[in-house]
Structure 1
Amino acid sequence: MHRIVLVVVTPVMSFDASIPYMIFGGVEADGVPGYTVRACTAEPGIVPTAGGPDLFVPHGLETVREADTVIVAGSGGEPAHPDVLRVLRETASAGTRIASLCTGAFVLAQAGLLDGRPATTHWALAEALAARHPAVEVRPDVLYVDDGRVLTSAGAAAAIDLCLHLVRLDHGAAAANAVARAAVVSPVRPGGQAQFITTPLPPERGTWLAGTRAWALAHLDRPLTLKDLAAHTGTSVRTLTRRFHSETGLSPLQWLLHRRIDRARELLETTDLPMDEIAWQSGLGSADSLRKHLVGRVGLTPSAYRAGFRRTER
């Protein structure tokens, strides 16, 4: 049985601390639990949280010695207890797999475990992480980063993605998909590369172009141009581009490409359509273009993506 030890560092979000229990606690391997999960902290007892009820953490940092995987949650970017940093350094030196959820990346960075590595954290604190720890290659626009024995995730739902990714590594895609269904979340994206990165769209920040975006989504099978979008909006291409970037963080054509790939993924998951038909319906043109963009986005060919994510009736 794989032993997960959660290191709770104040301040911590109660939701973040609950994620390992929710995900790993639902995994079965050959009919028996696949993981045990225990939480520890530098000063056992009542741990205040930044978003919810206080936590009772009964175990001290000596529990880390039992771990096959150590997961760090919390800190909010604040300095971590020196004993936490010492234990993490010792654990990393022993070759134990270490991961962080959300602002737990600050703790790993303070321990020096992210120096020279790619890493991520909550997008709102990514600049702070980069400024305080210039030796870290901060990637603010990804859900999580797997750099071998050290993994980091962005905030909230991305922490779930990272935990599901660990389940897939340990027990395979079927186990990860089963626990994802039980938790009513999207299944983990498989990938064999040492560093697995998935790039989400930035959050949308305005509604002035919402109607045009909805119209474009309904016509992804067309070769939409900047002039088409501007005409629908009733404005100039220059104004369209400026407002589009302001509201989405992307240019119109970048946004369209993301949405086309999303549509292709949906069709791969839910239909048996041939690749050329999927490429046409999503506006990507050809099967070769579909393959190029999907590999660039998620690191998988269309056939591999379909094999891993084809939804079955249940």
Structure 2
Amino acid sequence: MAALPHPLAADWAAHLARDRRRSAHTVRAYHATADRLLAFLTGHWGGDVDATRLAGIEAADLRAYLAHRRGAGLGNASAARELSAVRGFLAWAGTAAPRLRGPRVAKGIPRPVAPADVIALAEEVADEAREPWIAARDWAVLLLLYGGGLRIGEAIALTGGALPLGETLTVTGKRAKTRIVPLLPQVRTAIEEYVRLCPWPMGRDEALFRGFRGGPLAPAIIRRSVRGARGRLGLNERTTPHALRHSFATHLLGRGADLRALQQLLGHASLSSTQVYTAVDAAHLLDVYRHAHPRA
């Protein structure tokens, strides 16, 4: 039987929604984090946890919690984000969070961004937005880059003519060439939520993604937000909006996608541009082999 939500976590979620005007997605995610922490501490300390007892939390308790979460498969970026949410919850509860260095992603050769890290990055960017509709916009844009393999300029160039959304999206790429890309249900839902919250009218010839004052969204805004988020999460400096497109390609290739099909999805003029992803995937496989094979 699932545990009931903890009252402290519910109160924090209400504060985030009412006073901080966080998006529904952020409120759900942070509420879940606080619930997980309190449930863990209840077992870790052997009794109910209230605000008074929470004030006694120590660095060792947080390390144990993170180890517990990492044991459930949490990656470095997601663990860093979890710790950030925990610190915010403790601060709201009037408790100074113990000093604890967050996990860092080891630097090395360029690699595709792991799916879990893509989500952590998108959530972190959305959480820093000044308005719920901007949070929904940033979330939708980043999911579109990863889920559809779009260039940032291609996503920004979309207009209200793309609405209502279907199972595919017509994208205009370099040299004004158009292509059709599948629209994953999660990506479609994210864009539709943004459209619902956006305060600006969606004319067919007007930009789909808008800036704070209603004009077309500038790519630099997304790049700056990603740069800040990756620093807070400890992600490699090569984690950029364009890296999400590379990750889309590499992950599809790793799951058996045909090079010609991938070429069309990416909008590459020549197959040679697409073949670069075979080298990235081979490097990743060789790295796995070297670390896993007893005779490597």
The question of a shared fold, defined as TM-score above 0.5 by the shorter chain, is answered with no
Higher relative contact order, structure no. (Cα contacts within 8 Å, ≥ 6 residues apart): 2
TM-score by length of 2: 0.30
TM-score by length of 1: 0.28
Q: Which has the higher strand share?
A: 1
